[in-house]
């Protein structure tokens, strides 16, 4: 069978520079320089806005889960800062010419936190579980088979080529994380409760509603590549990381100002001037991804497509985004389901049906749908300010066209639990990181909450996956995005930017689809 080498073997040459200092004056200077180097702290304290439902990224795609679990678990591949797929636990990968066989060659000597070496049996067990519990695995890889060839080689057999396949193994949503075989098999379809990975930090303790404690993994085996995005060399520069659960945003900000916390997530956008002008604080606001109103199409009021179209006609997205984010620095109106920065996927199909702001059309569509006053059960949480603020505005706009809204406020972990049961809700607002390819958009999956189940969508997704070229894949996506503005599995509200604040003593702090804590230090 012919094979195509994807060239993931990293070849790094190291130059050793030997400096000889023969005079005592030179040595004295070095001693003086060393004495002035800043003393580094041994811990990082993060003020976290929401308690994760779990740290099991196979089954949960929420930001709170991935920002903690990415320090514990790793994947076969990661994205660099340009979203190019780079090896992590895999050393390389090869694809057969017909695209139906992929061979993964694993790195040797990588240890789990329990001291066991990672081998093919662990990778196969982890990916089999991911395939069975994640919506992406169940849809895109439903007929695929992972098998162990030898201790350091795994083979994936596919019924058909999947365009952009390796990006699935690097994606941050419902990540294909690797864990020991026995843990993956014992958990089955239930959430993992023993968090053992290969990452630079290991799980130490979780005191519910208080904190999650990670410690440095002394036997971590880093990549011999420069750190870039989520890829390359990772190093734990502190001994302890504490994620303190601090749902109240005022408390998070006050703690940052006093030095109680080093990093604060999900800072309210209305606090921008306060943070920007604080003498001891820095901030970061990179692009995150799209924010959507997710609708339950399996049961309830939004199982009626005409009612979904009525809501799309009614919503004033400008006011929703301004109310949610307070400052245009943190959002943008954008109809494309893929980010503008992903130029190869950017489409304007369906743009004419985006942000209609037409209450009269909405009322007409409601009448045509036979809407009978059934309440819309709109879930939201104060754990995320944008989520709560946008839900308040959406509720008012729906009431203005004659709909009844039952706004239900919960902790985020409760929403994650409730949204898995179609009988208990109708809609919620959520933002997600960018998706590498359109077929990996979570809310287009029939198994993800919202339950998008439509033959035309499935057919066009299949055409994207089976494409041989980017041009062929984009043509199918362009057609699909146009259709999404008719079918409306969700309502695309806009794109959003993160707002994370941190102490100026924290060095080399970075973001990419969430905060990155390896290679990050803090001065005393």
- pLDDT tens, residue by residue, 227-256: 999 999 999 999 999 999 999 999 999 999
Residue 4 confidence (pLDDT): 43
Cβ contact 238:43 at 8 Å: yes
- In sequence order, what DSSP letters do the residues of 18-62 get, joined into one string? -----SHHHHHHHHHHHHTSPPBPSEEEEEESS--S-S-TTT---
Q: Is the pLDDT of residue 7 over 90?
A: no
Question: What average pLDDT does the chain have?
Answer: 91
- Across 157-164, average pLDDT: 93
Name the strands in the sheet holding 500-503, side by side, starting at the edge strand that comes first in the sequence.
201-207, 211-216, 240-245, 43-48, 263-264, 500-503, 281-284
Which tens digits make up the pLDDT trace of 265-304?
A: 999 999 999 999 999 999 999 998 999 999 999 999 999 9
Residue 28 confidence (pLDDT): 42
Percentage of residues in the chain having pLDDT higher than 70: 93
- Across 415-444, average pLDDT: 92
Residue 36 confidence (pLDDT): 62
- Across 372-376, average pLDDT: 97
CATH number of 39-286+499-524: 3.40.190.10
Residue 316 Cα distances to 163, 326, 397, angstroms? 36, 15, 8
Sign of CA dihedral 402, 411, 275, 79: negative
> CATH number of 288-497: 3.40.50.300, 3.40.50.1980, 3.65.10.10, 3.10.105.10?
3.10.105.10
Q: Where are the domains of the chain?
A: 39-286+499-524, 288-497
- Across 197-201, average pLDDT: 98
Residue 54 confidence (pLDDT): 93
Residues 6+ apart with CB under 8 A from 277: none
Which tens digits make up the pLDDT trace of 96-114?
A: 999 999 999 999 999 999 9
Residue 135 confidence (pLDDT): 85
Confidence of residue 445 (pLDDT cuts 50, 70, 90): confident
- Across 59-65, average pLDDT: 86
Task: Please state which of the ranges 146-155, 162-171, 193-202 shows the lowest mean pLDDT.
Answer: 162-171
């Amino acid at each position: 069978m012919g094979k195509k080498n994807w060239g993931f073997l990293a070849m790094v040459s190291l130059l050793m520079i030997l400096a000889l200092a023969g005079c005592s004056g030179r040595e004295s200077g070095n001693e003086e320089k060393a004495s002035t180097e800043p003393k580094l702290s041994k811990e990082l304290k993060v003020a976290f806005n929401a308690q994760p439902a779990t740290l099991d990224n196979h089954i949960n795609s929420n930001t709170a889960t991935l920002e903690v679990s990415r320090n514990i678990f790793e994947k076969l591949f990661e994205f660099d800062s340009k979203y190019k797929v780079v090896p992590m636990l895999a050393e390389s990968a090869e694809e057969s010419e017909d695209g139906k066989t992929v061979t993964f060659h694993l790195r040797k000597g990588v240890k789990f936190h329990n001291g066991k070496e990672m081998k093919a049996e662990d990778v196969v067990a982890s990916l089999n579980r991911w395939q069975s519990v994640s919506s992406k695995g169940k849809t895109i890889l439903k007929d695929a088979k992972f098998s162990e060839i030898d201790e350091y080689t795994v083979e994936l057999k596919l019924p058909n080529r999947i365009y952009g396949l390796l990006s699935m193994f690097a994606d941050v949503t419902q990540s294909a994380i690797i864990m020991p075989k026995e843990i993956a098999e014992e958990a089955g379809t239930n959430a993992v409760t023993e968090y053992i990975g290969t990452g630079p930090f290991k799980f130490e303790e979780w005191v519910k509603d208080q904190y999650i404690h990670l410690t440095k993994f002394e036997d971590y085996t880093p990549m011999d590549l420069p750190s870039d995005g989520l890829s390359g060399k990772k190093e734990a520069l502190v001994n302890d990381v504490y994620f303190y659960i601090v749902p109240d945003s005022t408390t998070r900000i006050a703690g940052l100002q006093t030095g109680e916390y080093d990093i604060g997530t999900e800072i309210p956008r209305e606090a921008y001037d306060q943070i920007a002008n604080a003498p001891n604080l820095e901030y970061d606001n990179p692009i995150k991804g799209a924010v959507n109103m997710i609708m339950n199409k399996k049961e309830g009021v939004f199982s009626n497509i005409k009612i979904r179209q009525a809501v799309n006609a009614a919503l004033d997205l400008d006011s929703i985004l301004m109310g949610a984010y307070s400052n245009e620095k943190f959002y943008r109106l954008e109809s494309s389901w893929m980010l503008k920065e992903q130029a190869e996927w950017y489409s304007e199909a369906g743009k004419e049906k985006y942000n209609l702001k037409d209450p009269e059309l909405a009322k007409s569509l409601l009448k045509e749908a036979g809407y009978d006053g059934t309440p819309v059960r709109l879930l939201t949480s104060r754990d995320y300010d944008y989520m709560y603020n946008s839900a308040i505005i959406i509720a008012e706009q729906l009431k203005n066209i004659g709909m009844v809204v039952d706004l239900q406020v919960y902790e985020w972990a409760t929403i994650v639990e409730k949204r898995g049961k179609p009988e208990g809700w109708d809609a919620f607002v959520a933002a997600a990181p960018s998706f590498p390819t359109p077929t990996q958009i979570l809310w287009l999956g029939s198994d993800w909450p919202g339950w998008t189940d439509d033959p035309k969508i499935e057919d066009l997704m299949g055409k994207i996956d089976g494409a041989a070229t980017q041009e062929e894949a984009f043509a199918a996506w362009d057609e699909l995005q146009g259709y999404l503005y008719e079918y409306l599995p969700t309502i695309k509200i806009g794109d959003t930017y993160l707002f994370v604040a941190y102490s100026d003593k924290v060095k080399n702090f970075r973001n990419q689809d969430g905060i990155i804590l390896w290679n990050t230090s803090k001065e005393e």
